Chains A and B, each alone.
Chain A
């Protein structure tokens, strides 16, 4: 899936070798894509539609890819945390660890022709769309190799060639945009859909309801994905929403509640939703998920929820551990092999950071570009006039 091109060629050897060694003990690697059926953690709950089956088709290869991709995301977010604390990342920074299964499962069900648009917690969605680590760390540090050429920072990742319409800073604003994307997709009959992601906090913005009505009225192929991590900053969902059953809040728009910590359930739901949206218009997917980090880097994340709650989720529902257990119980890899994968992900992250640190800052003239299509000759000088002065494009 999405991240495959990121993996160095050495990856097949690390993975293949141990697997081949234990050839006799286990399914041989050649049966990688042998179909496997696995039941979702919990049943789907549906609203105005019939829920898809709990039995999800997958394969050993897919499970290992899930593991690898999520391990990479986890490592990447933890590294971003350290970079922030080292003051190498400026601006605001929101991490996705805990929620990886949503990004992974969604990508497994759709193609790059489908569009994704999300809020500011966008690092992993970008990686899922095929973005690379160098672009991510460079953007975080405001360097020119960043995916937005260092001009956006953590909240503003985009990837046009993979239809990733990116990270948005104003809570809820991206959802009506998603309806517009979907209208264009429908109009050009390209059988593609838009996944518009938002949080449980964002679900209370008026724009959400405007988007729901518009998309239902015009049967737009848009899937509204509510990533319910149960908190909007410090506010628990029940404090802010009369009905925290977000999958039902579209009233006339069908909805599905999904275990967002189970990548396979997410995949099943997204596959179902895409088919539905192409045929019948919008649908809401409420992903029951959890963020391990605080809301942003200045939030320790422990004042409005208990430590027990956080450890409980980590122990019982962690999306990576769930896949690890599946892999081990189906005897698809050994614990050591999985540990090695994690080590390799760590190395990839470290290498990318080292490289990103070498990436230069954008040229000061970049301050003025992209405001309009054409520059308009703003005159400017630096913090100290003597340092830098010029009439810029």
Chain B
């Protein structure tokens, strides 16, 4: 509800630019020839992606509550001036209408990029996403689809967002075949993954870690590039335990990995990036190597996407596992007002769990 993130997140966060990209390299070639890159924060990277999306496809549109003015998190700044009010426009306050409209627009072969102001407000549009967007192609025997649909929404904790500005609803959408769910961890990732999501021929729900909008800064190539969907990335190599996460939680997990390393535990950290359809092979290969798995997300533990990962990996790696799969997640409560630090899967909780899993 705020117009800006200035007060959010005074807690210092790890900045993903320091990441060594081991493991899988970006599979798109554009990144390889050292193109010009400058430091940008996450919301600016999103803004760049939207500029490029509109620039490169005359049939792309951006709309949502207050997006004509730049949106509450400034992600759509300058778009209306540049591309005009017929392609970038404000909608009334009506999420169900916004998404339904977007599905129709996409069904006519357009790229409909809809913003839901906070992920907490996506629920009025839940029916449209679950029953209309996800099944359009299937139930029409491939006559129609809304593949050009991308719904962007800021998700997750910000330090004091309380019940309705902090939720992480990704798991609800992971239960819906026909949708893709993508969550970036940093500015460079956000730009490349958003462009891929917009251009993907399937409807995508794209959750942006709002805590990182301003805090996360790294070099972002200025040109048009895409990062592959459904490809996880090993962002830190290790041999004792595999950690899987996405979005803002990766920075917390990275800190725990660093602390664990001081105690002689070597952690492998994987950014899942796309939650459905997800890259089981990368996770499986890592767990086959380490023999242990920990999953961490902000959403409540019960029914969270961590449960799905745990079940799949147990199926695939049962005999290789040396400890139960650990989940360090949000608690099974509404997102609290004053108890956010208790609720959150903090670094210490992750670290504790790494140790107990390794020492199992």
Stretch at the interface among B12-20, B212-220, B333-341: B333-341
Is A51 engaged at the interface, CB distance under 8 Å to the other chain? no
Question: How far, in angstroms, from A170 to B120 measured CA to CA in the complex?
Answer: 8
CB-based contact B3/A299 at 8 Å: yes
Is B264 engaged at the interface, CB distance under 8 Å to the other chain? no
Is A346 engaged at the interface, CB distance under 8 Å to the other chain? no
> Using a CB-CB cutoff of 8 Å, which residues 187-222 of chain B contact chain A?
none
Question: How far, in angstroms, from A181 to B157 measured CA to CA in the complex?
Answer: 33
Residues of B within 8 A of A235 (CB): 65-66, 90, 92-93
User: How many of A's residues come within 8 Å of B, CB to CB?
Assistant: 54
Is B152 engaged at the interface, CB distance under 8 Å to the other chain? no
Interface string of B316-352 (1 = CB under 8 A from A): 0000000000000001111011110111101011001
User: How many of B's residues come within 8 Å of A, CB to CB?
Assistant: 44
CB-based contact A205/B164 at 8 Å: no
CB-based contact B3/A378 at 8 Å: no
Q: Give the residue name and chain of the A residue nearest to B6 (CB).
A: A298
Is B4 engaged at the interface, CB distance under 8 Å to the other chain? yes
Number of A-B residue pairs with CB-CB distance less than 8 Å in the complex they form: 137
Interface string of A142-161 (1 = CB under 8 A from B): 10000000111101100000
CB-based contact A155/B93 at 8 Å: no
Residues of B within 8 A of A172 (CB): 93, 124
> Using a CB-CB cutoff of 8 Å, which residues 1-37 of chain B contact chain A?
1-7
CB-based contact A298/B7 at 8 Å: yes
Residues of A within 8 A of B144 (CB): none
Is A241 engaged at the interface, CB distance under 8 Å to the other chain? yes
Contact of A364 among B65, B69, B120, B339 (CB under 8 A): B339
Contact of A205 among B66, B94, B336, B349 (CB under 8 A): B94
Contact of B338 among A92, A142, A294, A376 (CB under 8 A): A142
Is B165 engaged at the interface, CB distance under 8 Å to the other chain? yes
Q: Give the residue name and chain of the B residue nearest to A205 (CB).
A: B94
Interface string of A94-118 (1 = CB under 8 A from B): 1000000000000000000000000
Known: A142-B338, A298-B7. A204 touches B93 (CB 8 A): yes
Q: Give the residue name and chain of the B residue nearest to A207 (CB).
A: B124
Question: How far, in angstroms, from A251 to B223 measured CA to CA in the complex?
Answer: 52
CB-based contact A234/B160 at 8 Å: no
CB-based contact A170/B90 at 8 Å: no
Question: How far, in angstroms, from A165 to B123 measured CA to CA in the complex?
Answer: 22
Known: A91-B161, A295-B3, A361-B338. A367 touches B343 (CB 8 A): yes
Interface string of A362-386 (1 = CB under 8 A from B): 1010111001000010101111110
Known: A92-B1, A204-B92, A205-B124. A383 touches B160 (CB 8 A): no
The A contact surface, by secondary structure, is loop
Residues of B within 8 A of A361 (CB): 338
Is B162 engaged at the interface, CB distance under 8 Å to the other chain? yes
Contact of B342 among A151, A205, A382 (CB under 8 A): A382
Is B96 engaged at the interface, CB distance under 8 Å to the other chain? yes
Is A5 engaged at the interface, CB distance under 8 Å to the other chain? no
> Using a CB-CB cutoff of 8 Å, which residues 334-393 of chain A contact chain B?
361-362, 364, 366-368, 371, 376, 378, 380-385, 388
Is B58 engaged at the interface, CB distance under 8 Å to the other chain? no
Is A28 engaged at the interface, CB distance under 8 Å to the other chain? no
CB-based contact B93/A380 at 8 Å: no
Q: Give the residue name and chain of the A residue nearest to B301 (CB).
A: A378
Q: Give the residue name and chain of the B residue nearest to A380 (CB).
A: B331
Question: How far, in angstroms, from A239 to B161 measured CA to CA in the complex?
Answer: 28
CB-based contact B1/A233 at 8 Å: yes
Is A297 engaged at the interface, CB distance under 8 Å to the other chain? yes
Is A232 engaged at the interface, CB distance under 8 Å to the other chain? yes
Q: Give the residue name and chain of the A residue nearest to B71 (CB).
A: A234
Question: How far, in angstroms, from A367 to B164 measured CA to CA in the complex?
Answer: 16
Is A23 engaged at the interface, CB distance under 8 Å to the other chain? no
> Using a CB-CB cutoff of 8 Å, which residues 118-176 of chain B contact chain A?
120-121, 123-124, 160-165
CB-based contact B162/A90 at 8 Å: yes
Question: How far, in angstroms, from A299 to B164 measured CA to CA in the complex?
Answer: 18
Question: How far, in angstroms, from A303 to B96 measured CA to CA in the complex?
Answer: 28
Residues of A within 8 A of B260 (CB): none
Known: A170-B121, A204-B94, A235-B66. A371 touches B2 (CB 8 A): no
Is A250 engaged at the interface, CB distance under 8 Å to the other chain? no
Question: How far, in angstroms, from A91 to B1 measured CA to CA in the complex?
Answer: 10
CB-based contact A91/B337 at 8 Å: yes
Q: Give the residue name and chain of the A residue nearest to B8 (CB).
A: A298
Is B84 engaged at the interface, CB distance under 8 Å to the other chain? no
CB-based contact A92/B161 at 8 Å: yes
Q: Give the residue name and chain of the B residue nearest to A366 (CB).
A: B339
Is A240 engaged at the interface, CB distance under 8 Å to the other chain? yes
Is A218 engaged at the interface, CB distance under 8 Å to the other chain? no
Is A296 engaged at the interface, CB distance under 8 Å to the other chain? yes
Contact of A234 among B3, B331, B332 (CB under 8 A): B3
Is B307 engaged at the interface, CB distance under 8 Å to the other chain? no
Question: How far, in angstroms, from A362 to B163 measured CA to CA in the complex?
Answer: 16
CB-based contact B348/A234 at 8 Å: no
Question: How far, in angstroms, from A368 to B7 measured CA to CA in the complex?
Answer: 27
CB-based contact B3/A150 at 8 Å: no
- A21 CB, nearest partner CB in chain B, Å: 49
CB-based contact A378/B332 at 8 Å: yes
Question: How far, in angstroms, from A348 to B90 measured CA to CA in the complex?
Answer: 43
Question: How far, in angstroms, from A120 to B163 measured CA to CA in the complex?
Answer: 12
CB-based contact A304/B334 at 8 Å: no
Contact of B337 among A150, A233, A384 (CB under 8 A): A150
Is B72 engaged at the interface, CB distance under 8 Å to the other chain? yes
Q: Give the residue name and chain of the B residue nearest to A148 (CB).
A: B337
Question: How far, in angstroms, from A72 to B331 measured CA to CA in the complex?
Answer: 40
B residues neighboring A (CB under 8 Å):
1-7, 65-66, 69, 72, 90-94, 96-97, 120-121, 123-124, 160-165, 331-334, 336-339, 341-344, 346, 348-349, 352
Please give 8 more A-B residue pairs, beta carbons under 8 A apart, in addition to A90-B337, A170-B164, A296-B3.
Answer: A94-B1, A150-B337, A152-B163, A235-B93, A303-B3, A383-B341, A383-B342, A385-B349
The 10 closest A-B pairs by CB, nearest first: A298-B2, A169-B164, A91-B162, A204-B92, A142-B338, A90-B160, A383-B341, A240-B92, A201-B93, A367-B339
A-B contact pairs, 9 of them (CB 8 A): A150-B338, A153-B163, A170-B164, A233-B1, A233-B65, A234-B3, A240-B93, A378-B332, A378-B333
